[in-house]
A and B are shown apart, each in its own frame.
Chain A
Amino acid sequence: MIRYIARRVALAIPVLLGILFITFILNRLIPGDPCRAMLGEKATDEVCDAFFKRYGLDQPPVIQFGYYLGRVVTGDLGDSMRFGRPVTQMLMERLPVTIELALLSLLVATIFGVILGVIAAYWQNSPVDVFTMIFANLGVSIPVFVLGLLSAYLFAVVLKDTPFALPPSGRLTAGVRVQPIAVAWGMPDLGGPARGLLDFLSQMYVINGLLTWNWRLFADAARHLILPVLVLSTIPMSVIARMTRSSLLEVMSLDYMRTARAKGLNESNVVFRHAMRNALLPVVTVVGLSLGGLLSGAVLTETIFGLTGVGRTMFDAISSRDYGVIQGFTLVIAFTYVVVNLLVDISYAILDPRIRLG
């Protein structure tokens, strides 16, 4: 097992280096002179010389890459020229928003996807099955932004004065107060990594509301998240439902299932203890692979629903050519993704011994 993990980690290293290299050359790809792209057309030659010195741009590319690596390792991802703030600081604010959205969507997608898939497989070819599969097909075919716009229209315009009305944008209703968790817990002077972690969690309003017993904050934040989560979870839910169905159908036709039934086990035992354990293995991979889609979907969902997460920030940065932010956020998004995939691979190997031995 440890050998397997070590091998997977070793294989991830070149990928991570590749990502670092790509984000490194991102800045070189900017059309024109990087100094004037960063500081504006009016920058004088002296200013530019100082700029080149400061960022090590007067050095050979290999050394520049070394500098870049050094800065990334110490957590310095450069500055946003639009906001004049360190990119790391912006990430600490906006990453939690996206993580909250993505994890909730993944949770919803997994729970409902597996349930739908099991129902469809168990009553194969029944109306339930046909309906589920049509739903799953629709889910992967309707673009995220169409679904987003239509659901926003439905819940915020058509159902405006009914109890089903949902807010189409933003994270909180005006007037709902948010406190950092550390302050709510009476530790405003806390510092160091613990404070950093608490502040990070504070930005996830649902979790903040739960941890600080702020019911109003929790309910309001959750209400604002319903539509984005609904929209973002549709694609992974469809994929998971299809995967669960086909993999359960495959397992159900195997000999050991007949044995289980023949020895008189009751039906729920057969399905949940015998079939599901094996059928869910491929589903785990799909759940892991959905993460890339979630990150992509987050760009759209956050743009439509006005959430200031990583996706929205990235989109704004591209519109305003804020290369510092583009570079830093690309790096973090790609890194997160590789690490999550690594974890999925490892969990897959824990669940299925054939993988690590084969």
Chain B
Amino acid sequence: MSISAGTATPKLEIGSATKRKHRTLWGDAWVQFRRNRLAVLGLTLIVLIVVGVLAGPFLYPVDPKQINILEASAPPSMAHPFGTDDLGRDMLARCIYGGRISLSVGMAAMLIAMLVGSTVGLLAGYVSKLDNVLMRFTDMMLTLPQIPLLLVAMSLFRDPLRMRFGLEAGAFLMVVTIIGIFGWMPTARMVRGSVLSLKRKEFVEAAVNVGVHSSSIMWRHILPNTMAIIIVAATLSVASAILTESTLSFLGLGFPPDVPTWGSLLYENRNYMVKAPWMVMFPGILISVTILAINFMGDGLRDALDPRQRQ
């Protein structure tokens, strides 16, 4: 009896230990994230918007370019939930199509911004000799007023790119590149700050002492540890890229007029605001809600992934 009891007790302990869920960084972050109601709301809205924009054309098969003068500037109705514009084109279809472009510009510009931002941040943080130069440059880029410079850059590069890559692809490439180039600075600063503190950690010292090459310390030991920060920065940078794209389009400098994006819909329709406010209202609300949702989610992610900022 006593022997069997003695063997049973450790078994029980093992049983309960395996039952308890293994805690991971991401699992932990998810638990933390779910506690933040605004962040969950943001995530839900984003999922809804992304699904709506992707599945929209199948659920709502209306051609966004179909002109119907007889129904021009019609207010929202069952046939046209968002109303129609001055040429009788369906606003909902145009908003869905425009959302595809706005969101893909946001994602693509974010990728460029993250690539440049984390490279600069990593180099500045790890290589002391480069720190001052790179951060001066980052500060300079940050201090320059963006929109006037974006306008200048757009006006300079628009025509050559359009000639080379065609009207739509050229515009896409240029908008994305320019937004990305002007959007990497906050990421670089955040990554640098994190690298500076990681650099002094024991595991990095250990790697240095066993003779690991600098580039592989940066790539394999430091970069993975900055992922949390990069993810937060990426989220927030999608929001600012969408905002910048809509701003450029609103100023008539983004995509060509026949390509609807949320910003260019506003730009095209702003003169009809008094007669047909829905032509401006819906794209405006869509932009605002998307950016708000992404910002909520980004704040939630930051709290969830960066334990130091938890309260």
Chain A positions within 8 Å of B, measured between CB atoms, are 11, 14-15, 18-19, 26, 29-31, 137-138, 140-146, 149-150, 152-153, 157, 292, 295-297, 299-300, 303, 311, 314-315, 318-319, 321, 326, 329-330, 333-334, 337-338, 341
Chain A contacts for B206, CB-based, 8 A = none
Q: Is the CB of B148 within 8 A of A153?
A: no
Q: Give the distance in Å from the alpha carbon of A31 to the alpha carbon of B156 in the complex.
A: 7
Which of B142, B159, B292 has a CB less than 8 Å from the CB of A137? B292
Q: Give the distance in Å from the alpha carbon of A15 to the alpha carbon of B142 in the complex.
A: 12
- The residue in chain A whose Cβ has the minimal distance to the Cβ of B273 is A153
Contacts of B124-167 to chain A: CB distance below 8 A: 136, 139-140, 142-149, 151-152, 154-156, 159-160
Q: Is the CB of B143 within 8 A of A338?
A: yes
Q: Mark B164-189, 1 if CB is under 8 A from A, else 0.
A: 00000000000000000000000000
Which of A18, A149, A295, A319 has a CB less than 8 Å from the CB of B145? A295
Which residue of B144, B250, B251, B281 has the most chain A CB atoms within 10 A of its CB atom? B144
Interface flag for B235 (CB, 8 Å): no
- The residue in chain A whose Cβ has the minimal distance to the Cβ of B142 is A292
Q: Give the distance in Å from the alpha carbon of A299 to the alpha carbon of B140 in the complex.
A: 20
Q: Is the CB of B277 within 8 A of A153?
A: yes
Interface flag for B280 (CB, 8 Å): yes
Chain B contacts for A338, CB-based, 8 A = 143
Chain A contacts for B38, CB-based, 8 A = 137
Q: Is the CB of B155 within 8 A of A26?
A: no
Which of B145, B284, B292 has a CB less than 8 Å from the CB of A150? B284
- The residue in chain B whose Cβ has the minimal distance to the Cβ of A32 is B159
Interface flag for B84 (CB, 8 Å): no
Interface SS of B by simple majority? helix
Which of A142, A149, A330 has a CB less than 8 Å from the CB of B152? A330
A187 shortest CB reach to chain B, Å: 36
Q: Is the CB of B250 within 8 A of A145?
A: yes
Which of B139, B251, B281 has a CB less than 8 Å from the CB of A303? B251
Q: Is the CB of B292 within 8 A of A292?
A: no
Chain B contacts for A333, CB-based, 8 A = 145, 148
Q: Is the CB of B288 within 8 A of A299?
A: no
Q: Mark B233-272, 1 if CB is under 8 A from A, else 0.
A: 0000001000100110011110000000000001000100
A289 shortest CB reach to chain B, Å: 8
Which residue of B147, B292, B296 has the most chain A CB atoms within 10 A of its CB atom? B147
Chain A contacts for B148, CB-based, 8 A = 295-296, 299, 311, 314, 329-330, 333
Which of B145, B266, B273, B295 has a CB less than 8 Å from the CB of A296? B145
Q: Is the CB of A318 within 8 A of B253?
A: yes
Query: Across chains A and B, which 10 residue pairs bring their CB atoms closest together, nearest first?
Result: A296-B147, A141-B292, A146-B284, A295-B145, A141-B291, A142-B288, A318-B155, A292-B145, A145-B250, A299-B147
Q: Is the CB of A137 within 8 A of B295?
A: yes
Which residue of A31, A296, A329, A341 has the most chain B CB atoms within 10 A of its CB atom? A296
Which of B156, B292, B296 has a CB less than 8 Å from the CB of A29? B156
A142 shortest CB reach to chain B, Å: 4
Q: Is the CB of B288 within 8 A of A143?
A: yes
Given A318-B152, A330-B149, verify A31-B291 contact (CB < 8 Å).
Answer: no
Chain B contacts for A341, CB-based, 8 A = 143
Q: Is the CB of A149 within 8 A of B284?
A: yes
Q: Is the CB of B145 within 8 A of A31?
A: no
Q: Give the distance in Å from the alpha carbon of A256 to the alpha carbon of B163 in the complex.
A: 65
Which of A292, A299, A311, A321 has a CB less than 8 Å from the CB of B143? A292
Q: Give the distance in Å from the alpha carbon of A297 to the alpha carbon of B274 in the complex.
A: 23
Q: Is the CB of A296 within 8 A of B146?
A: yes
Q: Give the distance in Å from the alpha carbon of A14 to the alpha carbon of B133 in the complex.
A: 11
Q: Give the distance in Å from the alpha carbon of A149 to the alpha carbon of B156 in the complex.
A: 28
Chain B contacts for A330, CB-based, 8 A = 148-149, 152
Q: Is the CB of B155 within 8 A of A14?
A: no
Which of A11, A26, A137, A303 has a CB less than 8 Å from the CB of B136? A11
Given A11-B136, A149-B266, A295-B145, verify A140-B250 contact (CB < 8 Å).
Answer: no
Q: Is the CB of A157 within 8 A of B274?
A: yes
Q: Is the CB of A143 within 8 A of B145?
A: no
Contacts of B268-305 to chain A: CB distance below 8 A: 270, 273-274, 277, 280-281, 284, 287-288, 291-292, 295-296
A288 shortest CB reach to chain B, Å: 10
Q: Give the distance in Å from the alpha carbon of A330 to the alpha carbon of B144 in the complex.
A: 10
Q: Is the CB of B296 within 8 A of A137?
A: yes
Known: A137-B295, A292-B144. 6 other contacts (CB 8 A): A138-B288, A142-B291, A143-B288, A149-B270, A149-B284, A299-B251
- The residue in chain B whose Cβ has the minimal distance to the Cβ of A295 is B145
Contacts of B180-200 to chain A: CB distance below 8 A: none
Q: Give the distance in Å from the alpha carbon of A152 to the alpha carbon of B266 in the complex.
A: 14
Q: Is the CB of A153 within 8 A of B151?
A: no
Which of A19, A315, A326 has a CB less than 8 Å from the CB of B251? A315
Q: Give the distance in Å from the alpha carbon of A333 to the alpha carbon of B159 in the complex.
A: 25
Q: Give the distance in Å from the alpha carbon of A106 to the alpha carbon of B239 in the complex.
A: 24
Q: Give the distance in Å from the alpha carbon of A292 to the alpha carbon of B140 in the complex.
A: 12
Q: Give the distance in Å from the alpha carbon of A251 to the alpha carbon of B140 in the complex.
A: 31
Chain B contacts for A311, CB-based, 8 A = 147-148
Q: Give the distance in Å from the alpha carbon of A144 to the alpha carbon of B246 in the complex.
A: 10
Q: Give the distance in Å from the alpha carbon of A318 to the alpha carbon of B247 in the complex.
A: 15
Which of B139, B143, B253, B295 has a CB less than 8 Å from the CB of A141? B295
Chain B contacts for A145, CB-based, 8 A = 246-247, 250, 266
B117 shortest CB reach to chain A, Å: 18
- The residue in chain B whose Cβ has the minimal distance to the Cβ of A15 is B140
A305 shortest CB reach to chain B, Å: 12
Q: Give the distance in Å from the alpha carbon of A294 to the alpha carbon of B270 in the complex.
A: 22
Q: Give the distance in Å from the alpha carbon of A277 to the alpha carbon of B146 in the complex.
A: 32
Chain A contacts for B152, CB-based, 8 A = 26, 318, 326, 330
Which of B154, B243, B252 has a CB less than 8 Å from the CB of A143? B243
